[in-house]
Amino acid sequence: MMLSIKRQAIASASRILTRPHIFSGLATAAARAYHSKLYKSSDEAIQGIKSGDTLLIGGFGLCGIPENLLKAVARRSDIQQVTAVSNNAGTSDYGLGTLLQSRQIKRMVSSYVGENREFARQYLGGELEVELLPQGTLAERVRCGGAGIPGFYTLTGVGTQIEKGGIPIKYAKDGKGVLIASEPRETKVFNNRKYLLEQGITGDFALVKAWKGDELGNLVFKYAANNFNAPMATAGKITIAEVEELVPVGELKLDEIHVPGIHVHRVVKGEVYERRIEKLTLRRSDAEEQVLSDSMKQRIHIIKRAAREFKNGMYVNLGIGMPVLASNYIEPGITVHLQSENGILGMGPFPTAEEVDADLVNAGKESVTVLPGGTCFSSDVSFGMIRGNRLDMTILGGMQVSGKGDLSNWVVPGKIIKGMGGAMDLVAAPKSRVVVTMTHNAKNGEPKIMQENTLPLTGVECVDRIITDKCVFDVVPGKGLLLRELSFGRTVDEIRACTACDFEVASDVAETY
Report the catalytic residues.
Answer: 341
Instruction: Give the side-chain half-sphere CA count within 13 A for 69.
Output: 29
Instruction: Give the side-chain half-sphere CA count within 13 A for 30.
Output: 7
Rounded Cα–Cα distance for residues 35 and 141 (Å): 31
User: Chain centroid to CA 218: how far?
Assistant: 24
Which 3 state secondary structure label does DSSP give 244?
A: strand
Spatial contact of 139 and 60, defined as CB atoms under 8 Å apart: no
Q: Which of 104, 10, 58 is nearest to 236 (CA)?
A: 58
β-strands 129-132, 105-110: how paired?
parallel
Residue type, 354: E
Question: What's the residue count for the chain?
Answer: 513
Q: Where are the beta strands (DSSP E) in 65-121?
A: 82-85, 105-110
β-strands 266-269, 236-246: how paired?
parallel
Q: Which strands, in side-by-side order, build the sheet including 407-408? A: 407-408, 400-402, 449-450
Rounded Cα–Cα distance for residues 196 and 32 (Å): 48
Rounded Cα–Cα distance for residues 90 and 101 (Å): 12
Q: Which helix (H) or strand (E) holds 411?
A: strand 411-412
CA dihedral sign, ordered 28, 32, 36, 42: positive
Spatial contact of 491 and 446, defined as CB atoms under 8 Å apart: no
Query: Where does residue 370 rank: exposed (0-12), middle (13-18), buried (19+ CB within 10 A)?
Result: buried
